[in-house]
Amino acid sequence: MHRLKEAVRSLGRAYSPQEDRRLGGHLGAVVAFGAYTAAWGAAVRRHGTELPDRHDPWDLPLTAAAVFRLSRLLAKGSVTSPLRAPFTRYESATGPAEVSESPRGGAVRSTVGELITCPFCLSVWLTATFTGARLLWPRATRTVTGGLTALALADALQLGYDCLLQKNTE
């Protein structure tokens, strides 16, 4: 195990000599994601669910909007900051109900901090979650993705309304 850690550190120094990129933590995240998706695959197989030949056309935009909204809420939402606080440091408010945070701590802690403050990173995990959940519980998953899609559209309307008000008061 010591040899593997040293090999990853050496690779990290060669990859980015200017700064510590913590490739070991990122490698751990990739392995964890592989295990997570394998667990979903095992659950779907154990459940006996057949894979669909194709996606329902409405499932794609609903899932995309739901993943977008939930990843923003989890990664940037001010109300979800207590969930991120053990792994991050508050930097500033960045927009309506959103904050900017930076990862903190050792290798594992900072890797988790990077993952949970990055909506793009969370989107990968959430897409896997919604995909697996839709295979096991299609009606419940469509209900959740539909609700999150409605929230995303409501947010867009709120922001659009605020922009119109601001433009009219200038």
pLDDT for res 77: 96
pLDDT for res 32: 96
Phi, psi of 80 (to 5 degrees): -100, 5
- Contact present, 12 and 21 (Cβ < 8 Å): yes
pLDDT for res 11: 79
HEC profile of 127-159? HHHHHHHHHHCHHHHHHHHHHHHHHHHHHHHHH
- In order along the chain (170 residues), what is the average pLDDT of each group of 10 residues? 79 76 83 97 95 91 97 97 97 92 91 96 98 96 97 95 88
